């Protein structure tokens, strides 16, 4: 059985202060600025910076794409 990954309502704004987060779109680290996060399957968290997705709708689109592709940048970011 398959279904479409829906995370639009799970997207939340974050402002990381202490720890660097890796953006799943551009691959740059960010902190002390606004960003977006969503939790995917297996409790894997994905992050996107405000430069790549200034609105919640754009962030949801980027995060859904990153869940589908499962890019290596996100896996590396989770190891930090």
Residue 72: inside a domain: yes
**Element holding 49 (H helix, E strand):** strand 45-49
What pTM did the predictor assign? 0.68
Residue 3: inside a domain: no
Tell me how many domains the chain contains.
1
Walk along the chain (80 residues) and give the pLDDT tens digit of each residue.
Answer: 777 665 445 788 999 999 999 998 899 999 999 999 887 666 678 889 999 999 988 888 888 777 776 653 434 344 44
The three-class DSSP label of residue 39 is: strand
Q: What is the dihedral of CA 66, 17, 19, 78, to 10 degrees?
A: -20
Q: Determine contact, residues 18/32, Cβ cutoff 8 Å.
A: no
Domain range for residue 61?
12-79
């Amino acid at each position: 059985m398959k279904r479409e990954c829906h995370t639009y309502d799970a997207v939340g704004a974050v402002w990381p202060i202490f720890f660097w987060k890796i953006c799943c779109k551009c691959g740059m680290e960010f902190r002390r600025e606004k960003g977006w996060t969503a939790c995917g399957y297996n409790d894997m968290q994905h992050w996107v910076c405000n430069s790549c997705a200034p609105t919640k709708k754009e962030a949801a689109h980027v995060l859904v794409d990153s869940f589908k592709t499962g890019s290596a940048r996100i896996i590396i970011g989770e190891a930090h």
